[in-house]
Amino acid sequence: MNSADNKPRRAAAVPSSRISRMASLTGLAGRVAGNLVTESSKHWLRGQRPVMSELLLSRRNLEQVADKLARMRGAAMKLGQLISMDSGALLPPELAAVLERLRDDAVIMPAAQLVDVLEQNWGQDWDRRLAQFSFEPVAAASIGQVHRGRTHAGRELAIKIQYPGVRRSIDSDIDNVVSLLRLSGLLPRDLDIDALVEEAKHQLRLETDYLHEQQALLSYADALTQFRHRAALALPGVDIELSTEQMLCMDFLDGISLTDAADRQPGLQHHIPALLLELFFCELFQLRTVQTDPNPANYQYNLEQDRLVLLDFGAVRHFSAEFVSQYGRAICAATDQDAAALGAALEQLGFFGQRHDAANRQVVLDIFMEATEPLRTPGPYDFGTSDLAQRIHAQGMAISSNPEAWHTPPADVLFLHRKMGGLYMLAARLGAQVDVHTIFNHYREAL
């Protein structure tokens, strides 16, 4: 497992107590309010009547919100990621764009804090556990950072180390961030995101238990024996003796970023998205177990072995047979452009129960049908030249441009759309041409 990029990383101690984390958000609220007064005064001096929503969504306010969440890491940062994953249909585009930065904008722990975590998990003599340990992380994200090590037996490890205080602050962090976003006006006060907030807390409790992720990895690897292209994938093994709730020790797998791989070897720009999309349909419709985080940093490619390397399993999510069956009806109806059948399937999934959802029923149906365009287009679909993302965005703006129309889709659907949308974006970034129609129909026949 190698670093996803070579960007220099900022080091800053992670606030580990609930009081210090609350103080961070309280200070941020004060700065947002101060910026509001400053910007409002500038407008009045220019003889302009300030618009409150524009002031709240100023670049300065949004950047300070994103920067503070990145420094806090953990639940605060993860909530920003979860809120932003509905491709703009939930939030105004300005805020969604800033929150999207949080996927790759974590700040690393300083060495002293890192040693504290190592001692808490492996004891004062932690350095005797390994023959070698690198203090420079090879990757950093919202919950932890990854270091390279080697056991005395010569096993190369990727050691994922959780930031201190993240797990015990999940509930308070998320509640405080939601309060901040509401008080600052960045979220409408009457927008019902209670279900999403509870789902974010549940997801974080799972993702911050590395023993749970260890089991998820082992179970996922076992389930993947059913995938017809299993030989094209590489998954790390786990060092069970060294792993703890805060430290997950996996095999270090060689690989480079997906974009680098596509640049170096012709054909991979098409092969990688095709493999990932087929894996997604297999996960959902055959295994009912989906790795729901589409961040490209969760994948690498080993050119020598010609295999896609899977790296992160904290966001593996299991879906019930009933949900998969109902979602299958919805996606098939959308692919067939059968609005009546799609509407009925979405109602069964929990859509249109809120006033906002019902008022935007046709827009939601249109977006679903638009999003399945690659699935119904015979032959290779050219993601690189398609304007599909722009069309979906334009339709989503019919909802997001009106604060009273913002809505929260059912959590299970949101996670799936997060994954599919991320795979579409990756395919577009690589300029891929993928026969999604044939891939989808292979799994549709089994529904």
Q: Which are the catalytic amino acids?
A: 293
| Whether 317 contacts 414, CB under 8 Å | no
Tokens found for residue 180: 């901040």
Considering only CA atoms, which of 314, 315, 328 is closest in space to residue 415? 315
Distance CA 71, CA 123 (A): 27
262 touches 430 (CB < 8 A): yes
93-100 vs 59-72: helix axis angle to the nearest 10? 30
Residue 281 to residues 147, 287, 437, 439, Cα–Cα distance (Å): 32, 9, 12, 8
**Amino acid of residue 424:** Y
Of the candidates 191, 418, 396, 442, the one whose C-alpha atom is nearest the C-alpha of residue 294 is: 418
Backbone angles phi, psi at 267, to 5 degrees: 100, -25
Q: Which two tokens stand for residue 364?
A: 């939601």
- Residues composing the chain: 447
